[in-house]
Structures are given as structure tokens and as C-alpha cells.
């Protein structure tokens, strides 16, 4: 008898934690269908989803589960300590945009003066989170923003135009979901710290990711197709009411493209040259153009660019762009500058802010094939404000070719306060690399080639102090120049094919062949 009692007590001791675990699970898992969601694609389900989120929040947090089905929704309010789990076969669909379908109006903004309107509002979104922490959007399901606007009309209070927007948040994870037609921004994160975005597929009509004024960001394993706008775009606006840098960011193992919208996710990868964007789809990874706070301590690695634009690093509103490493990138069918570095003076920000700086950038391990000949790689600062400390190494670039002698004679305008974008200087007088207003440029193990004849020089250095080149190959036509130097100091070139080793202290104008 005593032995039976002891066994019963032992069984109870072992069973109680299991019962407790089941009870905790039961109170931390919230199926939206238990709150009235239908999932038929007709009824508006955002009210039920928000009820499930509210219940989870009141209980201290948990997982809000969206099972297979089509959920037509207005605005969904993400809260702290909530995981929104979109299951395989489940799609959150943006309902037609109006108040009756539960969309929220855009809020009053701290600042609307120094940034685009899309960076001034967050609540006019399909899914939004405001001042939250410890939140996730995960699962193998989809977000379809088919009714979200790609444009926004000021004063139109119901123009929802973002799939997911986050403002002043911390400890956020987005993983495994797919987004199609994400609106003005598929994901807008402003002032979000400790942000992880992993294994997403985004096939959208405007920007895929806008990471703005964020710190400690991990972006990895993404497939992004954005023919009409940027793929991964780092920004640092004045949207928080003050200038805050985007810093401590890693971007790795991502693919960027500009195929026709929708054809990444359906696997057809079409390139119809839609007249809406002509023959220049966008895609790409870009820093800027919003650049009040600047960009610091960023790495980009192991990425593929296919039929889109190249890398663009820009600061034009007074911010610092510094300490960036880019490595192991392949690009094919690139429609503008494969590499574009721009320090400008648009200065859209409070008065008295000095011109920023662009410095300490290392780019290596880059392969580019079939790049557009109407563009070249560009490193362009301002008179008296040079770009500084740039290293280019282990790079192979193959341009289509076709440049003319007339193009080689072009003078490039400064365009100090213009919107920064590859092509802002017009057709370049080089096919390979144009460097102006820069200090301390190191180029090693780099090749510039063309696939069809091109009568422009390979490189131009203008107003540059300290150039070190080693093992550089510059393809050129007969009687064309390899390198042109204008107002260059401390120039060195060694061990470069068909170019004599030279050390020049000061050069007013000289050609190297």
C-alpha cells in the first residue's frame, strides 16, 4: 500500500509540469478562427485578427495563429510580445482601401519637412507596429498587398500604401513569409533596433525593404524582385524628429532582380521591358537618398544582382557614410553604374548642417557581366569635400561597349544639389571608372573590359590626391587612352598590363596608354 502511494505521488510530480505546460500553451496560442476570422477572401477578417492579437497581449503575449485560408483585411495592429504566425497556405490580402474595410488613417507625424511623405506615416498600412518590442511575423504564408497604393495623395486620409510598417520598435523578427505587391514600401522600418529579416521572398511594385534610422540589423537569405524601385534600401531620414544614423547592419546571401512584377514568385522570371520603367528596372541595394543621419558600420556579402541596377552608396543631406565593407557580389545584365559612390549637397534638412562625408569603403570580390555602356562606375565627391579612403580590389567588369569618341570628349557637370542617382551626370566620358574629388584611392587586381568596341578611355581621375594602382587591366581600342589624369597628386601605378610603372607627384593633365 505504501509502495502504491509512493508511485502515485511520483506520477503526480511528473504529470503536474506537463499539465502546466499544456495549460500555458493553451493560453499562449491564439487561433484567429476562434475570434471570428472566416478566411474565405470575401469577409473582412482584420477585426478578428486584431481581437486575437489583443487577447494575446492581455495575457502577456503569445502566438497568434493564422491557418490556411485567404484573409481579406484592413489594418492589423501588431503588439509587443506577439508572434504573428502565418501558416503555409494562409494569405493576408489587402482589402480595397477604405474606412469601411478597417484601414487606419495616417497619424500626425513628428516631421514631414525633410523627407518624402512615404517616410512620414506608418499607420496607413496593412500591418503596423508602433513603439513595440519582442514581436515577430513568421511562417510560410503570404502577404498580398494587391489593393495597396504605390503612390500617395496628400490629404487623402485612407491611402494605405505599405504592407508592413514599424516605428520605434525593438527586438523584431520577420522570417520565411512571402510578400507580393507590397505597395509604396513592402516593409518600412523606422527607428527599429535589433531587427532580423531572414528568408523572405518579396515580389513587389515599389521598394521592398526600407531600413531607416535603424540599429543592429540582420538581413539574410532574401529573394527580392522590385522592377520599379529599390530592393534593399538603407535610409536615414528626419522622420524621428532628429538625425539618427542607420548603423551596425549586415546584408548577406540575398538575390536582387528587376523582372516583371510577380514573375519571381511564379517562377517565370519575365523581362518584358514594361514601358512603365522602360528598359531600366531598378532592384539593387542602395544607401540613401534620404541621408540626414548617415550610415555606419555596414557589411554586404554574398549577393547576386540579376537584371537590375548596381550598388549605390549616397549621402547628400549632411550625414556620414563610413566604414562599409562589400564583398563577394555577382552582377549580370546591370542597367546602370555597377558601383556608384556619391557625396552631394542636396542638404534637405535643418539649416546649418555641414556637408557630410563619405569615407572608409572597401569593395572586393565583384564580378559584373553585360553592364550598360551608358553608365560607368562612379566615385564623385564635391569641390573641397572629397570622398576619402576607398579600396577596390579583385573586381572584373565587362561592359557591353559601344561608346564613341564624341562621348569621350564630354565634360561632366558637378550637379552638387541634384537628386543622387546613377546617370545624374549624363553619358560618362569613360566606359570603366570615373573618379572626381577624392582622396586616397586604392585599386588592385581590377579589370575593365568591353564586349563590343568602345572608344572611350577606361578610367578618368580628376581632382584626386593619392591614387595607388596595382595589377590593373584596362581594355582599350587602338589609339584610345587607358587612363586620363587631371589635377592629380601622388599617383602610382605598378604591375599593370600594357601600362608602364609610374610614380607621379603632381599632374595637371596626362594620358596613360
Length of the chain: 513
Mean pLDDT of the chain: 92
Selection from 463, 469, 459, 460 nearest residue 502 by Cα? 469
DSSP calls for 148-205: S-SS--TT-TT---EEEEEES-EEEEEES-EEES-BSEEEEEES-EEEEEES-EEE-S
Helix (H, G, I), strand (E, B) or coil at 406: helix
Per DSSP, 423 falls in state T
Q: Is the domain covering 27-482 a CATH 3.65.10.10 domain?
A: no
Question: How many whole angstroms separate alpha carbon 236 and alpha carbon 173?
Answer: 21
Calculate the alpha carbon distances from 404 to 368, 430, 448 in Å.
Answer: 22, 10, 17
Question: How many whole angstroms separate alpha carbon 115 and alpha carbon 12?
Answer: 63
Question: How many whole angstroms separate alpha carbon 251 and alpha carbon 302?
Answer: 9
Do residues 335 and 368 lie in contact, with contact meaning Cβ atoms separated by under 8 Å? Answer: no
Which residues are paired to 491 by β-bridges?
Answer: 467, 504
Question: How many whole angstroms separate alpha carbon 234 and alpha carbon 213?
Answer: 8
pLDDT of residue 273: 65
Question: How many whole angstroms separate alpha carbon 385 and alpha carbon 133?
Answer: 40
Q: What share of the chain is helix, strand, coil (3-state, %, to 5)?
A: 10, 50, 40
Calculate the alpha carbon distances from 207 to 54, 159, 269, 502 in Å.
Answer: 30, 17, 18, 46
pLDDT of residue 107: 86
What tens digit of pLDDT does each residue of 193-205 get? 999 999 999 999 9
DSSP calls for 199-243: S-EEE-SSEEEEEES-EEEEEES-EEE-TTSEEEEEEE-STTSS-
pLDDT of residue 11: 40
Per DSSP, 278 falls in state T
Model's pTM, two decimal places? 0.93
What tens digit of pLDDT does each residue of 37-72 get? 999 999 999 999 999 999 999 999 999 999 999 999
Domain-by-domain residue ranges, the chain? Answer: 27-482
Task: With residue 27 as reference, give the H or E element that holds it.
Answer: helix 2-28
Q: Give percent of the chain with pLDDT exceeding 90.
A: 85
Do residues 36 and 59 lie in contact, with contact meaning Cβ atoms separated by under 8 Å? Answer: no
Q: Which region, left, alpha or beta, applies to residue 461 given φ > 0 means left and ψ of -120 to 50 means alpha?
A: beta
Task: With residue 470 as reference, give the H or E element that holds it.
Answer: strand 459-474
Residue bearing cell 573586381: 395
For 475, the grid coordinates are 581594355
Question: How many whole angstroms separate alpha carbon 207 and alpha carbon 282?
Answer: 9
In 29-73, alpha helices (H) = 46-58
What tens digit of pLDDT does each residue of 408-429 get? 999 999 999 999 999 999 999 9
Calculate the alpha carbon distances from 440 to 226, 433, 488, 491, 496 in Å.
Answer: 35, 15, 11, 10, 19
Selection from 177, 185, 236 nearest residue 207 by Cα? 185
- With cut-offs at 50, 70 and 90, classify the pLDDT of residue 7: very low
What tens digit of pLDDT does each residue of 461-494 get? 999 999 999 999 999 999 889 999 999 999 999 9
Calculate the alpha carbon distances from 345 to 211, 279, 339, 511 in Å.
Answer: 22, 29, 20, 31
pLDDT of residue 24: 42
- With cut-offs at 50, 70 and 90, classify the pLDDT of residue 151: low
pLDDT of residue 106: 86
Per DSSP, 385 falls in state B
Amino acid at each position: 500500500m505504501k509502495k502504491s502511494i509512493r508511485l502515485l505521488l511520483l506520477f503526480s510530480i511528473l504529470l503536474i509540469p506537463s499539465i502546466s505546460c499544456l495549460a500555458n500553451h493553451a493560453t499562449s496560442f491564439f487561433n484567429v478562427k476562434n475570434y471570428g476570422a472566416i478566411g474565405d477572401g470575401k469577409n473582412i477578417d482584420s477585426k478578428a485578427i486584431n481581437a486575437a492579437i489583443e487577447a494575446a497581449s492581455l495575457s502577456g503575449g503569445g502566438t497568434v495563429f493564422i491557418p490556411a485560408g485567404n484573409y481579406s483585411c484592413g489594418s492589423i495592429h501588431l503588439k509587443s510580445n506577439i508572434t504573428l504566425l502565418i501558416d503555409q497556405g494562409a494569405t493576408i490580402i489587402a482589402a480595397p482601401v477604405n474606412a469601411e474595410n478597417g484601414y487606419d488613417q495616417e497619424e500626425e507625424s513628428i516631421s514631414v519637412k525633410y523627407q518624402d511623405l512615404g517616410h512620414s506615416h506608418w499607420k496607413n498600412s496593412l500591418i503596423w507596429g508602433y513603439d513595440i518590442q519582442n514581436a515577430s511575423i513568421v511562417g510560410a504564408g503570404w502577404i498580398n498587398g494587391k489593393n495597396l497604393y504605390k503612390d500617395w495623395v496628400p490629404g487623402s486620409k485612407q491611402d494605405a500604401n505599405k504592407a508592413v510598417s514599424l516605428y520605434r520598435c525593438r527586438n523584431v523578427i520577420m522570417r520565411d513569409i512571402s510578400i507580393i505587391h507590397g505597395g509604396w514600401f513592402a516593409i518600412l522600418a523606422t527607428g527599429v533596433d535589433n531587427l532580423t529579416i531572414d528568408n523572405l521572398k518579396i515580389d513587389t511594385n515599389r521598394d521592398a525593404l526600407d531600413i531607416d534610422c535603424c540599429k543592429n540589423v540582420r538581413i539574410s537569405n532574401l529573394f527580392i524582385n522590385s522592377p520599379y524601385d529599390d530592393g534593399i534600401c538603407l535610409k536615414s531620414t528626419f522622420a524621428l524628429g532628429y538625425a539618427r544614423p542607420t548603423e551596425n547592419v549586415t546584408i548577406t546571401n540575398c538575390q536582387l532582380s528587376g523582372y516583371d512584377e510577380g514573375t519571381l514568385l511564379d517562377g517565370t522570371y519575365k523581362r518584358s521591358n514594361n514601358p512603365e520603367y522602360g528598359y531600366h528596372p531598378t532592384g539593387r541595394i542602395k544607401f540613401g537618398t534620404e541621408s540626414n543621419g548617415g550610415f555606419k558600420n555596414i557589411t554586404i556579402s554574398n549577393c547576386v544582382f540579376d537584371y537590375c541596377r548596381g550598388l549605390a552608396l549616397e549621402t547628400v543631406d549632411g550625414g556620414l557614410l563610413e566604414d562599409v565593407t562589400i564583398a563577394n557580389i555577382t552582377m549580370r545584365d546591370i542597367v546602370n553604374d555597377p558601383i556608384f559612390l556619391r557625396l552631394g549637397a542636396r542638404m534637405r534638412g535643418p539649416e546649418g548642417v555641414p556637408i557630410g562625408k563619405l569615407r572608409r569603403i572597401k569593395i572586393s570580390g565583384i564580378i559584373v557581366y553585360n553592364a550598360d555602356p551608358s553608365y560607368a562606375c562612379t566615385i564623385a565627391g564635391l569641390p573641397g569635400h572629397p570622398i576619402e579612403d576607398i579600396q577596390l580590389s579583385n573586381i572584373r567588369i565587362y561592359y557591353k561597349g559601344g561608346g564613341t569618341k564624341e562621348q569621350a570628349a564630354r565634360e561632366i557637370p558637378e550637379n552638387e544639389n541634384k537628386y543622387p542617382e546613377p546617370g545624374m551626370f549624363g553619358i560618362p566620358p569613360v566606359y570603366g571608372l570615373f573618379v572626381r574629388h577624392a582622396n586616397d584611392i586604392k585599386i588592385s587586381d581590377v579589370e575593365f573590359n568591353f564586349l563590343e568596341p568602345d572608344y572611350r578611355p577606361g578610367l578618368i581621375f580628376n581632382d584626386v590626391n593619392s591614387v595607388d594602382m596595382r595589377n590593373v587591366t584596362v581594355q582599350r581600342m587602338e589609339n584610345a587612352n587607358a587612363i586620363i589624369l587631371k589635377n592629380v597628386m601622388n599617383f602610382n601605378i605598378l604591375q599593370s598590363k600594357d601600362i608602364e610603372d609610374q610614380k607621379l607627384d603632381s599632374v595637371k593633365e596626362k594620358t596613360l596608354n
